[in-house]
Amino acid sequence: MSELKQRVPRVVVVGGGPAGLMAAERARAAGCEVGVYDAMASVGRKFLLAGKGGLNLTHSEALEPFLDRFGERRGEVARWLDRLGPADLRAWAAGLGVQTFVGSSGRVFPVDMKAAPLLRAWLHRLRESGVRFHMRQRWLGWAENGALRFQQGQAESTVAADAVVLALGGASWPQLGSDGRWVPLLAARGVGLAPLRSANCGFDLGLARDDAAAPGWSSYFVERLAGQPIKPVVLNFKGRDRAGAAARQFSRQGEFVFTSSGIEGSLVYAVSSLLRDEIEEFGEALIHLDLLPDRSAQFVAEEVARPRGSRSLSTHLKSRLGVDGLKSALLHEVLSKEAFHGPRQLAEALKRLPLRLRAARPVAEAISTAGGVRLQDLDAGLMLKACPGLFCAGEMLDWEAPTGGYLLTASMASGVVAGEAAAAWARGAR
């Protein structure tokens, strides 16, 4: 048998996040030589950041509602999850010696809540299997002969491969490596790209109050209350009707945080795609907060209207409805003085307080991004139809998902699909 036929097929993975590492794992398991190249000094930096407050690996809810979290990309993502679903991901973690548990919210976490032990175990297994890592290697595109170009410091090198998996992330948290520099490189090759946009992000405020002289919180509110969470509340949103499409709606109880310019946090992230799209189309998005989700509108109206004698209105609201602190300050911030002291208007505001949002926070601040490589330009194995042998995975694809384990699960599942398909292509290219 000739030396050419004996050569082991080679897959290069560019990007060392969860999708890239999973692609490397599957390509190596298929018998390919695998090299992972990343611009940072170490892999998995955004993965580690995501686990700083407790690594939310996946979610325990049933598959159908799980798939609904992916919106218009439900069908495509469902095919990825056929290869690595939520239960598979928990079993995969157990294979690394990391046991998981289901929290009260249905989210799945490692028992020790940490990302670092899982990543260390994963990298150890990958290295033991023969995957080679090449750090501080920034991808520059292609050489004339089709090889990949990389830059390390002032030096440039080229790397040949039988198949390539790009898993370069979006453009959120660029200091961790996902900086979107791949966009012009793929655009120059005619790859269809949707603009990168903020996802799972906060929003800047334009107050709904009629007498607000300027958008945003008052200096008093910012200095004393920014960074504090408000809970429990129900966030309600109903978008405007679009031609041929029903208005998009959202209603969920949870919590979020006030920032110096607006709002952010888990409840806001859950509806961020709808709010972002509404703002892009109409210039603003109007949400309503139910500050007393456990009380009926009738009960609230009766308690607000109840005679309070010599007590101040603030004391009355605290004693009758438990409204004080941040919720009380928010009412003062949004309502005019007349509305705050009008029983009917105040009662309505307690159950339906309006906040007008005028802009999503920049992509660099978002937890993740929407947009990227258009899925219609990829085949079932996530190979670019216009670039045979070039596969894409993870957040650089044009899809999005809320936090809660959905984003991470689907990213890793796409890595499985791309890694296995890249290995099959490489074996055929020997």
Interval 50-73: pLDDT, tens: 878 789 999 999 999 999 999 999
pLDDT digits (tens, 9 = 90+) for 324-348: 989 999 999 999 999 999 999 999 9
Is residue 212 over pLDDT 80?
A: no
Is residue 210 over pLDDT 50?
A: no
Is residue 113 over pLDDT 90?
A: yes
What is the rounded distance in angstroms from the CA atom of residue 386 to the CA atom of residue 344?
Answer: 62
What is the rounded distance in angstroms from the CA atom of residue 183 to the CA atom of residue 356?
Answer: 33
| Whether the Cβ atoms of residue 422 and residue 163 lie closer than 8 Å to each other | yes
Is residue 297 over pLDDT 60?
A: yes
Is residue 201 over pLDDT 80?
A: yes
| Whether the Cβ atoms of residue 171 and residue 369 lie closer than 8 Å to each other | yes
Please name every residue paired with 406 in a beta bridge, in sequence order, or none if there are none: none
Q: What is the set of domains in the chain, with CATH numbers?
A: 3-198+368-428 (3.50.50.60), 203-360 (no CATH)
pLDDT digits (tens, 9 = 90+) for 357-391: 999 999 999 999 999 999 999 999 999 999 999 99
**134: buried, middle or exposed (CB in 10 Å: 19+, 13-18, 0-12)?**
middle
pLDDT of residue 211: 42
pLDDT digits (tens, 9 = 90+) for 231-286: 999 999 999 887 666 678 999 999 999 999 999 999 999 999 999 999 999 999 99
In the block, which residue shows the tokens 């298929």? 30
DSSP string, 100-152: EEE-TTSEEEETT--SHHHHHHHHHHHHHHT-EEE-S-EEEEE-TTSPEEEEE
pLDDT of residue 1: 39
Average pLDDT over all residues of the chain? 93
**How much is the pTM?**
0.90
